[in-house]
Amino acid sequence: MSESLFSRPAWSGIIVCAVVLALLPILNLSFPAGHALHISSYAVGLIAKFMCYALAALALDLVWGYTGILSLGHGVFFALGAYAHGMYLMRAIGRDGVYQSNLPDFMVFLDWKTYPWYWSMTDNFWYCMALVVLVPGTLAFVFGYFAFRSRIKGVYFSIITQAMTFAFMLMFFRNNTGFGGNNGFTDFKRILGYSITAPATKAVLYLVTLGLLLAALILCRWIVKSKLGRVLQAVRDSESRLMFIGYNPLWFKLFVWTLSAILCGIAGALYVPQVGIINPSEMSPGNSIEMVIWAAVGGRGSLLGPIIGAFSVNGLKSWFTAAFPDLWLFALGLLFILVTLFMPQGILGLVDQFKRKWQPASPDGVATQTTPEASNGKQEAA
């Protein structure tokens, strides 16, 4: 399935979709409200949020769909990247807060006199961008090293990742950790000296998010098509056989796990200035489970599937929570059950089945099918 999804026509479709998405903030700025071509600021902001979710889902698919490592704790990497960027945004408020202090309002309220040591240098944008990569990446590397070295996998690994994100959530809820407690970070004013609420700033953030999502898609595509990608898929399909022929899965799993955490942290960093808030609820185990549902609905192991799933499920959520706010969790659970039972390969798997069903028959009356194995055989014969 993944082969046909990245054929030349498929890449043409991706480019067309990217161009259309890139036009949305331009239409928002170029035409006044009420004009036929005007795109509302709400719609632009909503799609930007969906793209952040799509990047997180893509990162999860790299470890789950291609390496067979089911994580129920990717929400913590997403939130840590958001908090790292949020620290800079809080410092950028300056004396414009409620208490007109150089400290964030929540620190003044708690009668803190100075910043904790781990807030040092967070007034520098590029230092915080380094934290966006280093903090989730370091946590993933340390956690993954001990877990993979101990041969923890399957449902046991999933459970301890969920325990990890729950522990971090409880820690960040505490006021004495210096991260805003229950309320988290909010009321941002500026980014790099520009008003964070200005339409032009929001348009730039939107385009940066789109660009990084495309870059991540290309990077992941390059990885899964390389020799490294084949080893990762061998880890997923038969790790014991891979070890028997002389490979050590530890470092392969650790690499893809750490890279996935970094991509998820970048998604969180893009999310926080566009949504305007980050609090510990982003670390809730439920958010990590939703990421798994995005990948499953779209079609895991296909790269494009998680992106489609993130847009589809969150679009449905936006409508459902407005129409039936008390029933969304029931609808989400039902959706996951139906996809598991009737669409095990997700939306893209359903599309692939439809294409095979309506594929024109060969002259002898048998439908022609081109599989990756067949195409590889033709290349070898040539």
Residue 371 pLDDT exceeds 90:
no
Residue 18 pLDDT exceeds 70:
yes
Q: Which residue has the higher pLDDT, 364 or 332?
A: 332
What average pLDDT does the chain have?
89
Lowest mean pLDDT among 171-185, 270-284, 292-306, 365-379: 365-379
Residue 365 pLDDT exceeds 70:
no
Q: In the 8-state DSSP scheme, what is residue 278?
A: E
Q: In the Cβ-directed half-sphere of 213, how many Cα atoms lie within 13 Å?
A: 35
299 sits in the region (left: phi over 0; alpha: psi -120 to 50; else beta) called left
Q: Which residue has the higher pLDDT, 362 or 312?
A: 312
Beta pairing, strands 190-191 & 277-278:
unpaired
Tens digit of each residue's pLDDT (9 = 90 or more) over 110-156: 889 899 999 999 999 999 999 999 999 999 999 999 999 999 989 99
Backbone CA torsion sign across 312, 318, 323, 328: positive
Q: Cα 162 vs. chain centroid, distance in angstroms?
A: 17
Three-state DSSP class for residue 148: helix
Every domain of the chain and the residues it spans:
2-358
pTM listed for this prediction: 0.90
Residue 359 pLDDT exceeds 80:
no
Q: What is the pLDDT of residue 1?
A: 52
Structural contact between residues 273 and 198, judged by C-beta atoms closer than 8 angstroms:
no
> pLDDT-derived band of residue 375, with 50, 70 and 90 as boundaries?
very low
Average pLDDT of the residues in 239-265:
94
Structural contact between residues 256 and 62, judged by C-beta atoms closer than 8 angstroms:
yes
CB atoms within 10 A of CB 50: 21
> pLDDT-derived band of residue 360, with 50, 70 and 90 as boundaries?
low
Q: Which residue has the higher pLDDT, 226 or 9?
A: 226
Distance (Å, whole) CA 56 – CA 373 = 31
Q: Which long-range contacts (CB under 8 A, 24 or more apart) does 22-30 make?
A: 22/207, 22/210, 24/206, 25/202, 25/203, 25/206, 25/207, 26/203, 28/199, 28/203, 29/199, 29/200, 29/203
Q: Which two tokens stand for residue 332?
A: 């989400």
Distance (Å, whole) CA 319 – CA 339 = 20
Rounded alpha-carbon distances, angstroms, from residue 22 to 48, 256, 267: 11, 29, 18
Three-state DSSP class for residue 122: coil
Q: Report the chain's C-alpha Rg in angstroms.
A: 22
Distance (Å, whole) CA 342 – CA 118 = 49
Average pLDDT of the residues in 288-313:
93
Q: What is the pLDDT of residue 353?
A: 76
Residues β-bridged to residue 278: 185
Distance (Å, whole) CA 48 – CA 40 = 13
Three-state DSSP class for residue 257: helix
> pLDDT-derived band of residue 13, with 50, 70 and 90 as boundaries?
confident
Three-state DSSP class for residue 277: strand
Q: In the Cβ-directed half-sphere of 33, how many Cα atoms lie within 13 Å?
A: 4
Average pLDDT of the residues in 359-370:
52
For 195, the enclosing helix (H) or strand (E) is strand 194-195
Question: Nearest to residue 86, comparing CAs of 159, 180, 13?
Answer: 180
Q: What is the pLDDT of residue 314?
A: 95
Residue 276 pLDDT exceeds 60:
yes
Q: What is the pLDDT of residue 200?
A: 93
> pLDDT-derived band of residue 361, with 50, 70 and 90 as boundaries?
low
Q: Which two tokens stand for residue 261?
A: 């955490």
> Which three-class secondary structure string do you get for 162-194?
HHHHHHHHHHHHCHHHCCCCCCCEECCCEECCE
Tens digit of each residue's pLDDT (9 = 90 or more) over 162-221: 999 999 999 999 999 999 999 999 999 999 999 999 999 999 999 999 999 999 999 999
> pLDDT-derived band of residue 325, with 50, 70 and 90 as boundaries?
confident
Q: What is the pLDDT of residue 341?
A: 86
Average pLDDT of the residues in 269-277:
95
